[in-house]
Amino acid sequence: MARKVSIAACQFVIKPVKDFDAFAAQSVKLLDQAKGADLVLFPELFTLALFTTFDGWRSRPVSELVKVDTYTNAYREFFAAEAKRRKQVIVAGSHLEKKKGGYFNVAYVYGPNGLIHTHDKTHIFPAESAWFTREGDRMEAFDLPFARVGFNVCYESEIPECAASLTEQGAEIILCPSYTFTEYGFWRVRHCAQARAIENQVYFVHCATGGKLPKGPLPGGWTRSSIVGPCDKPWSAPNGVIAEARANVQMVLRGTVDLDKLHDNRETGVAPTYRDRRRRADVYRAWPSHLDAQAARKAAAAKRAAKVRRIGS
């Protein structure tokens, strides 16, 4: 029997809510549309909608967005209960949470039997630094009942080593919850997700937060969630897009990925990049790195300065 995984990406659009129950009701509407999927994915930091529950939220500084940590326990309990009730694996997007050492952007996965995995975002987008969030250090693939998966949260997809590490750990599907503040940012993540899918011959599920509030510290979100894979003949779409949502509307994107097809493609595909991107690793190590080039430039500059001093003396 073919190993196929049914995926539902919940494209969440932020809007003001009066309390946690209203936020939960918005999430439930999406979960209801994701019925029957093996894997349900919410986007990055969609819980920032909860910031609108605080008095005077429109005039608060952007640094106070971390106050959504107030709802961490309610958020965890809600998604744990929904995964158990629906007997589904639910990727609860990500959430700003206070842990030892500061605030982190934490992604969660829940299954029918409880918490499965968490991931602290390892590469904070420069604009996130205004929220004083810290960076995690782990990039780990983990097993679900139907596939081996891992996280590249938003900006992590733009760092090739993040996806490469996961696929070398056996990941077949990379989960990419994101929150991009402009259409430019959206396409950076989307194009990078597609590139990582081709480089590593892996599936990427890109689920993005949307929303545009007229005033306040909450950033806007541009979204068109998608499921992408390698661009090769085993898939019907030459552009590698398996499923794609409409832009900037709240909806659930459904699609199915074939894991056997992925592994066959790694062995027999026209472009076996999963194998070849490490095949000549010995040569790559011999090539000058960015740090090598930087050191060489500093050495050359020091040599020129020394020559000028000699001539001057």
Count of domains for the chain: 2
- How far apart CA 144 and CA 36 sit, in angstroms, is 16
pLDDT band at 300; cut points 50, 70, 90: confident
- How far apart CA 139 and CA 299 sit, in angstroms, is 35
Tokens of 117: 């995995």
Q: Are both 257 and 295 inside the same structural domain? A: no
- Provide the residue range defining the domain that includes 302: 280-313
Task: For the chain, give the mean pLDDT.
Answer: 93
Q: Are both 196 and 124 inside the same structural domain? A: yes
Q: Are both 248 and 269 inside the same structural domain? A: yes
Q: Are both 103 and 250 inside the same structural domain? A: yes
Q: What's the CATH number where 106 sits?
A: 3.60.110.10
- How far apart CA 84 and CA 87 sit, in angstroms, is 5
Percent of the chain with pLDDT over 90: 81
* pLDDT tens-digit series, residues 136-150: 999 999 999 999 999
- How far apart CA 152 and CA 166 sit, in angstroms, is 9
Q: For residue 307, what is the DSSP state?
A: H
Q: Are both 109 and 255 inside the same structural domain? A: yes
- How far apart CA 246 and CA 107 sit, in angstroms, is 24
Q: Are both 239 and 288 inside the same structural domain? A: no
Q: Are both 196 and 143 inside the same structural domain? A: yes
Q: Are both 155 and 271 inside the same structural domain? A: yes
Q: Are both 99 and 185 inside the same structural domain? A: yes
Residue 1's pLDDT is 59
pLDDT at 296 over 80: no
Give the sign of the dihedral formed by CA 169, CA 173, CA 179, CA 184: positive
Instruction: Tell if the pTM clears 0.75, that is, is over it.
Output: yes
Q: Are both 257 and 291 inside the same structural domain? A: no
Q: Are both 164 and 30 inside the same structural domain? A: yes
pLDDT at 134 over 90: yes
- How far apart CA 157 and CA 189 sit, in angstroms, is 6
Strands 148-151 and 173-178, by their bridges, are parallel
Q: Are both 303 and 215 inside the same structural domain? A: no
* pLDDT tens-digit series, residues 210-248: 998 878 899 999 999 999 999 998 899 999 999 999 999
